[in-house]
């Protein structure tokens, strides 16, 4: 999608479709809709629709006006943004996505979006671009009769300092493209996204944006004594890949070094503890944590914060075979801790355990991991929020600020010694599952043992990495959750 900035009054913009937001400033049950724009001609063009009561400003409500009087645009699309008091950059992102998706159904390829006045101009430009790009993504890659409905160009109509607005637009485009890059990776079926292919995509991306990228295979994994990682990988005929991406900008201090560790299970059958057949096809998305980190590293390389970052993805399949690990087996992790395998379907924490240890060995002073780790987090938080765990309050507070800036929804869950007790083994140091209750918390407690004293955040994105249904602003399928928050955190981390 080509993105441009226009400082021209909205009424003078020539476009297939001009999009403006309608908000409701009425109190309680009273509706008082208005167009959020200072352009008088635009307000006049929408006046009859609004006065008729057909446009109330309800969130995602869409109304079309063809050949609008007062405007040079061929069409005017009014999109509801809800109540003024609830309207923020997060809602603007979604409204921008909803506008793009409304255009796609009509085969319109371009639009101009009027930045609303209730949000600062730079923040508005950023939210519109990010939301529009998210809305433009569709997962129907392999349909033989697929019709390309992609929106080709977006102009944001705003007022303010042109240089600052252009910078906001350029940065937002990088972030939106990186989120969609993550979604493209997650969307691929497992026969077209093996560990080797994921590694190749990471290498190609790294070459394009100037990152250093190394990919290690089984021999290196064994050499590093990553017994937990190899325990998962040994059951598959597909070779595993340890992907290491490095961002080392000139002038960055030696410390801190941020480590981003992603779970890259390109397909999860559950192993010997095999999953039910119902819904197993979705387990191609079990590498979403790894894809997230690859997308974040892409954005970091282009946004250029002054901080060193190392991205690590532990990629493998979890398969049942004569070579696969079995319940009751003992694996020795890279850290030297021994792990009793109770359930081979609790594999994500095993690859992350060695990934976190390796990140520390490479000099990372702060760690964040992301993984579609537990069904328990979905029981706890549903499909609305990702789960966040942290062993360092100061680091968490900075990350919470980044979540707010990014407009993503996450919720901090408890991390205490009582959860670790459930992970104690009678035969080894740890076991890889703690039973039915508090499963997201016991899994996080397990991982904490491998982060040790290093400030660390764990993101359990199992319920949010895949949209179960089409929404007005986003298609069913991969969401790219956490990409924006991690980018915001990294930029602040390096400031």
* 163 touches 119 (CB < 8 A): no
Rounded alpha-carbon distances, angstroms, from residue 133 to 96, 101, 116, 467? 9, 10, 18, 16
Catalytic residue among 349, 360, 484, 491: 349
| Neighbour tally for 270: CB within 10 Å | 18
Catalytic residue among 275, 304, 412, 471: 275
Q: What share of the chain is helix, strand, coil (3-state, %, to 5)?
A: 40, 20, 40
Known catalytic membership, residue 93 = no
* 100 touches 135 (CB < 8 A): yes
476: DSSP letter: S
| Neighbour tally for 25: CB within 10 Å | 16
- Would you state the structure tokens that stand for residue 309, as one six-digit string? 């970052």
Partners of 453 in the β-ladder: none
Known catalytic membership, residue 349 = yes
29-50 as b/e, with b when 16 or more CB fall inside 10 Å?
A: eeeebbbbbebebbbebbeebb
**What does the H/E/C string look like for 20-86?**
EEEEECCCCCCCCEEECCCCHHHHHHHHHHHHCCCCCCCCCCEEEEECCCCCCCCEEEEEEEEEHHH
| Torsion angle (degrees, nearest 10) of CA 35, 37, 39, 42 | -30
Q: Which of 135, 115, 122 is nearest to 21 (CA)?
A: 115
**CA 439 – CA 434 distance, rounded (Å):** 7
Q: CA angle 343-349-355, nearest 5°?
A: 140
| Neighbour tally for 469: CB within 10 Å | 8
What residues are annotated to the active site?
275, 349
């Amino acid at each position: 999608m080509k993105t441009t900035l226009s400082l021209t009054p909205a009424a003078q913009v020539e476009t297939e479709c001009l999009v403006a937001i309608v908000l409701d400033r009425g109190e309680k049950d009273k509706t008082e809709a208005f167009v959020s724009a200072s352009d008088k001609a635009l307000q006049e063009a929408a006046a009859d629709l609004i006065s008729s009561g057909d446009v109330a400003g309800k969130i995602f409500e869409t109304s079309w006006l063809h050949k609008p009087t007062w405007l040079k645009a061929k069409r005017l699309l009014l999109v509801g943004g809800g109540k003024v008091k609830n309207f923020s950059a997060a809602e603007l992102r979604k409204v921008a996505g909803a506008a793009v998706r409304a255009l796609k159904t009509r085969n319109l390829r371009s639009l101009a979006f009027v930045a609303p006045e209730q949000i600062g101009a730079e923040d508005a430009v950023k939210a519109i671009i990010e939301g529009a790009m998210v809305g433009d993504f569709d997962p129907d890659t392999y349909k033989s009769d697929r019709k390309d409905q992609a929106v080709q160009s977006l102009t944001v109509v705003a007022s303010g300092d042109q240089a600052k607005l252009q910078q906001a637009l350029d940065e937002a485009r990088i972030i939106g493209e990186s989120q969609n890059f993550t979604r493209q990776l997650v969307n691929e079926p497992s026969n077209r996204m093996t560990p080797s292919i994921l590694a190749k995509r990471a290498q190609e991306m790294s070459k394009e944006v100037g990152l250093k990228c190394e990919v290690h295979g089984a021999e290196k994994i064994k050499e590093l004594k990553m017994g937990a990682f190899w325990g998962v990988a040994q059951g598959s005929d597909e070779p595993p890949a340890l992907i290491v991406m490095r961002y080392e900008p000139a002038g960055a201090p030696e410390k801190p070094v941020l480590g981003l560790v992603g779970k890259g299970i390109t397909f999860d059958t559950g192993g010997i503890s095999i999953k039910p057949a119902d819904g197993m096809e979705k387990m191609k998305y079990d590498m979403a944590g790894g894809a997230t980190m690859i997308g974040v590293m892409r954005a970091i390389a282009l946004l250029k914060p002054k901080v060193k970052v190392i991205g690590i993805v532990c990629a493998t399949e979890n398969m049942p075979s004569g070579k696969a690990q079995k319940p009751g087996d003992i694996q020795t992790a890279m850290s030297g801790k021994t792990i009793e395998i109770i359930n081979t379907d609790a594999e994500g924490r095993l690859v992350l355990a060695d990934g976190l240890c390796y990140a520390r060995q490479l000099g990372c002073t702060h760690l964040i991991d992301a993984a579609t780790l537990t069904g328990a987090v979905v029981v706890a938080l549903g499909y609305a929020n990702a789960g966040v765990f942290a062993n360092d309050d100061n680091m968490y507070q900075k990350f919470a600020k980044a979540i707010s800036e990014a407009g993503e929804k996450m919720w901090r869950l408890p991390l205490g010694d009582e959860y670790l007790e459930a992970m104690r083994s009678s035969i080894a140091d740890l076991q890889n599952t703690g039973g039915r209750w508090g499963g997201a918390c016991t899994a996080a407690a397990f991982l904490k043992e491998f982060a040790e004293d290093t400030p660390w955040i764990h993101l359990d994105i199992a319920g949010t990495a895949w949209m179960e249904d089409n929404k007005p602003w986003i298609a069913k399928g991969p969401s790219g959750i956490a990409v924006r928050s991690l980018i915001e955190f990294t930029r602040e981390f390096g400031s």
